[in-house]
Structure 1
């Protein structure tokens, strides 16, 4: 098995993504690798709503703040868990992007990760952040190896 030095794990806080996080932590431990936990937040909060809900600007600002805080808190938990289990170094990065798959691929490249770990699909509807199609996009376009967990 190849030795990985920096593993990126993408999460959207769904149950399935949580399993991917656990697997990435265990893998990082067994390989003595560093972990980069990433959550992608869409820049346009209106994209969270199906249909055409138009929000007043002030509500949009508040929503963006809330979504970012929630994303950061998800990643802080991942970092705390990884630290507690003995992963040597974990970074928590919230990435703002319109395209989840591009953001994951770019972050893996920028952070010099040699493996991407993600769930096969994530949440649906209003909470949607990672979808099966996003995972497929990462698999198709990433030059970094991808481990997909079902």
Structure 2
């Protein structure tokens, strides 16, 4: 039924569990995976000191963020490789992760988004919302939420 599944991952324990479940799901379905990680852009306040932009600060920020993202994606790829499931990686820098996830699913030609629910509750959920909820609300591609 599903042939290409996008799996957003942020490296959190629940997201890592979702990666494991998505790999098992893809293996049973005979599908391939694209693991997606979305990083925020560098905050503008980090890029300037007293109004002077520092290329060094920007380079260090991007190196650290990219290194962390690559580690997260490599860990997901390892799980897929051990299960014999073909996969690819997608790394995006966007201020709105839900938009990046939907964009990645569309551009990669995915027919399912398989993602974790981080289960924010109370005031935090009310104020911040949930990226999973935003993907569910805006995606035209089916979304399977692992909890």
**TM-score range for the pair, normalised by the shorter chain length:** 0.7 to 0.9
Aligned to 2:63: 65
**Corresponding residue SS for 1:91:** strand
Relative to the length of structure 1, the TM-score reads: 0.82
Specify which of 94, 97, 101 is matched with residue 94 of structure 2.
97
Match of 1:147 in 2: 144
Report whether the alignment pairs 1:108 with 2:105: yes
Q: What is aligned with 2:29?
A: 31
- 1:12–1:122 contact (8 Å) kept in structure 2: no
Give the paired residue count: 134
Unaligned runs of 5+ in 1: 48-52, 124-130
How far did 1:98 drift?
1.2
TM normalised by structure 2 equals: 0.84
- Whether the 8 Å contact between 1:6 and 1:113 is mirrored in structure 2 is yes
Q: Aligned to 2:113, what secondary structure does the other structure show? A: strand
Deviations 1:57-104 (A, max 9, x none): 3223202211111101211121122011111x2001111111100000
* TM alignment of 1:12-51, pairs within 5 A: 12-44=10-42, 46=43
Of the two, which has the highest radius of gyration?
2
User: CA–CA distance in 1 between the matches of 2:69 and 2:17?
Assistant: 17
Asked whether the equivalents of residues 4 and 115 of structure 1 are also in contact (C-alpha less than 8 Å), the reply is: yes
Q: Equivalents in 2 of 1:20, 1:77: separation in Å?
A: 13
